[in-house]
Amino acid sequence: MMRLDGRVAVITGGARGIGAETARVFREAGAAVVTWDVDDGADQQVDVTNAKAVDAAVAATVAKLGGIDILVNNAGILRDAQLVKVKDGEVTGKVEEAQFDAVISVNLKGVFLCGQTVAPVMIKKGWGRILNASSVVGLYGNFGQSNYVATKAGVIGLTKVWRASSDRRASP
């Protein structure tokens, strides 16, 4: 296992599931880990859809631990529903706008806000890694998940752009 001694890692969506397991693995590797989540069980209660909350969480983490070396953008939600559901020629259901907006806000905007806020801390330090959790459905789609699939495809796109930007900065 790669050692992360002396590194500070922030895991969004770290209160349970994949985020909690990621935090456990990073701790075992020696990192100082801070989990952010809206649910109880996280080290910090952070709504990744709120720029001011993310700013405050970054400032608190930097003040307490001296920086952030690794950001794992893992926070995500599902609000599955068919785009439109039709029975006997009549629309009987659809993805509600609030469902769509909630998934876009957490799964895509949250990645953007956390990355945008943490990146300057890493740049100032001269080292950092941002890991964005996506899904194979971002490449292939999945029935009943228009909103979720759109966010995961968006995260893949953000990651490509951020990678290209970091490669360009590193070149002579």
Annotated catalytic, 148? yes
The tokens for 42 are: 């996280």
Assign 3-class secondary structure to the chain.
Answer: CCCCCCCEEEEECCCCHHHHHHHHHHHHCCCEEEEEECCCCCCEECCCCCHHHHHHHHHHHHHHHCCCCEEEECCCCCCCECCEEEECCEEEEECCHHHHHHHHHHHHHHHHHHHHHHHHHHHHHCCCEEEECCCCHHHHCCCCEHHHHHHHHHHHHHHHHHHHHHHHHHCC
Of the listed 36, 100, 112, 148, which one is catalytic? 148
CA angle 54, 15, 145 (to 5 degrees): 80
The residues annotated with a catalytic role in the active site are 148
